[in-house]
Amino acid sequence: MGIKAIAIKDLKQTFYHPTAYVLAFFFLIITGWFFSSTLFLIGQAELRDFVGIVPFLMMFFIPAITMRTISEERKQGTIELILTNPVTDSSLIFGKFTSSMLTIIFFILFTICYPIVLTFIGEPDMGQIISAYIGIVLLSSFYISIGIFASSLTYNQIVAFILSFSIIFFFYLLQRVSIFVPPAYQEILLYLSSTTHFKKFTMGLVTLQDVVYYLSGTALFLHIANDIIESRLTK
């Protein structure tokens, strides 16, 4: 059982359960409201409000998706069974990450209808839209890695949800609290803030610095989760 097998197993468990469809429904309802409010109430053919609300929504939806990834396996004792097969700890982590990432992409794909609608009623900046979607995927991967890390710390899904939400909220909040710290520390907080980097993508800017931030953050939390599982199983 490798990364692919673990991912498929998790995806089956996710989509055989109504929770994924309920989350997808509410995700589309909320994002659809922000998209349509800009379009019909203000009369602007853009995705600004939809894209702007995504980091906030992901703070709730991603912990809900990732909270069971490791914690449920540990609670049921199946993690030991999985790892007795020729499966490495990293394969387990990346399998869980892949399944969670594909679930989020499933949610995001439904929102493609928003830019399609804009092309019929206006002339949206497609480069900016593509950049925004790249930012959404990268932001999601970072948040998912945090969720998997939190799930590896506990047997309880609710605790995993609260932990991952708290960590994600911390990175989300850094940009807003940076104005209250001395100028010498502002740049550090702004760089660590997940929303600072995401904002550039919404402006149509895809820079190496921002891509590296999300990919390195994702790798860091997945690596820590891998170390946690490895250390606990060797005790």
Find the range with the poorest average confidence among 67-76, 84-93, 142-151, 208-217.
Answer: 84-93
Per-residue confidence (pLDDT) for residue 191, from 0 to 100: 93
The Cα 59–Cα 172 span in angstroms is 9
- Please give the share of the chain, as a percent, with pLDDT higher than 90: 51
Per-residue confidence (pLDDT) for residue 233, from 0 to 100: 56
The Cα 27–Cα 189 span in angstroms is 29
Does the pTM exceed 0.85? yes
Find the range with the poorest average confidence among 77-86, 100-109, 138-147, 201-210.
Answer: 77-86
Q: What does the pLDDT look like over 21-45, one tens digit per residue?
A: 899 999 999 998 888 876 766 556 6
* Residue pair 32/110 in contact by the 8 Å Cβ criterion: no
| Of 217 and 5, more confident | 217
Q: Provide the 8-state DSSP code for 184.
A: H
Q: Where are the domains of the chain?
A: 3-233
Q: What does the pLDDT look like over 55-88, one tens digit per residue?
A: 999 999 999 999 988 887 777 666 655 666 666 7
Average pLDDT, integer, range 108-131: 88
Q: What does the pLDDT look like over 156-200, one tens digit per residue?
A: 999 999 999 999 999 999 998 988 888 888 989 999 999 999 999
Per-residue confidence (pLDDT) for residue 86, from 0 to 100: 63
Cβ-based neighbours of 26, under 8 Å, separated by 6 or more: none
The three state secondary structure string of 38-61 is HHHHHCCCCCHHHHHHHHHHHHHH
